A and B are shown apart, each in its own frame.
Chain A
């Protein structure tokens, strides 16, 4: 049996729009292979999916149009591990506190508030203690960031900033309001990819597999 740490799972990065390359670099650093996901077929053979920062309304429009949103929702419901940062956290939420109907993927029993910390002039960076990844705190870069307003009983809050939950997980689903992909600290990506490995959901490598393809 292969040692868990040696397994190189294939992780998709939703590539409708947003900080895709940054997540690919982080995933490669923790030993995963990556694939860009733009259409439903791109989900084939994936062991996990990252939904990056970007604009959640753009994700909804473009991914809704191609059927990608429905396809991702199906895979998440089936238990595929997911990591969502900022807009990705919004997409994985069950609901939005501040109103407007907006297509979501869902999967996490949380309600989020978009742009909760304010407009860009209020975007900030700060140390965020995340006990599950250990010391020291991670440097959280919060850009027009959401926060978690409500969380169901299955959700474990991983970090709090300014009195508001800003990172959480539910089994192999992890969300963060900040952007670990914008720093060199790979601990949250490692937590996610280790979860993928432990889940034992690693499928056979595809013949076309190339690290950081495209």
Chain B
């Protein structure tokens, strides 16, 4: 962690602090983060009101279709996207691949997603995210997993859902599971929290923090299967503080209109009239996949621990 800021002029100040890393996630709240594969898509996303973009070579549905090993994106592509937009640019590294993460930090990416959508590089460990100046977002399916990632230094959490399916059911399950975990911890007695920490395989201090505050210590978005404005609003109803949309926009028939509609629906998630208005005439959403049609080996959400 360096003490100096280069920027456009040397500044006094501490970079990479918890407040600075978790703070950017707070600024993204209520917004939509969109997967993009080139500068043109990034510009469409920005013009539609995305609060950030996720730069990657293949969107999750494409990774699912073509198979093989999915890795960090080509830096050339990432740089092109950074030049195209002024909003934050995120990128994915493989689970446990701390060198990919270092490369992304060297590229001055704004947030790293240590993502199960890419092929894991380490089956035992995730990246020690505390060692980085750039903040990380990580996926989670339940409270214990979220707290393990936070203990490793994640400054933002998202549900894993099941990426590339256009099916929101897993994101709903994960968001509800996290919320139920928070309710359980906050209603538990202090001695019960020891047992819960053991059961959830989560650090006791974080379990106690959640118990006292009845929320996660970092911002929690939803991801994995969101394809429509109503899907985005549903996740906000369930307690998401914002949404990631991966394949759902650029695999649909009219990406600019759908991107705009999902942004509107995320702001006005509690106003059905707005969601009805923005949902009109969007043409076809991305084709969806029934989760039961996927084999266990095809599930991305079981990657990581």
Interface residues of A (CB under 8 A from B): 15-22, 38, 53-55, 57-58, 61-62, 65, 86-87, 100, 114-126, 141-144, 161-164, 179, 182-183
- B29–A62 touching, CB < 8 Å: no
Task: Report the contact-size class of chain B (Cβ under 8 Å from the partner).
Answer: 35 or more
Q: Are B16 and A121 in contact (CB under 8 A)?
A: yes
The chain B residue sitting closest to A182, CB to CB, is B23
A123 touches B20 (CB 8 A): yes
The list of the 6 closest CB pairs from A to B, nearest first, reads A124-B13, A61-B49, A126-B13, A118-B7, A120-B110, A17-B30
| Chain A hits for B19, CB < 8 A | 125, 141, 182-183
Contact partner of A163 among B9, B82, B88, B266, CB < 8 A? B9
Q: With A and B bound together, what is the CA distance between A69 and B301 in angstroms?
A: 40
**A55 with B264: CB separation less than 8 A:** no
A162–B242 Cα distance when bound, in Å, is 34
Chain A residue numbers with a CB within 8 Å of B268 are 38
B165: interface (CB < 8 Å) = no
CB of B51 closer than 8 Å to a CB of A: yes
CB <8 Å contact, B86 and A57:
yes
25 contacts between A and B (CB under 8 A): A18-B26, A38-B268, A54-B27, A55-B27, A55-B28, A55-B52, A55-B87, A57-B46, A58-B31, A58-B263, A61-B47, A65-B264, A86-B27, A118-B7, A118-B8, A119-B110, A121-B108, A122-B5, A124-B11, A125-B17, A125-B20, A126-B13, A141-B23, A143-B24, A182-B23
Asked if B294 is at the interface of the complex by the 8 Å CB criterion, the answer is no
User: Is there contact, CB below 8 Å, between A122 and B15?
Assistant: yes
Q: Does B276 contact A (CB under 8 A)?
A: no
Whether B167 sits at the interface, judged by CB under 8 Å, is: no
Residues of B with C-beta under 8 A to A120: 24, 88, 108-111, 134-135
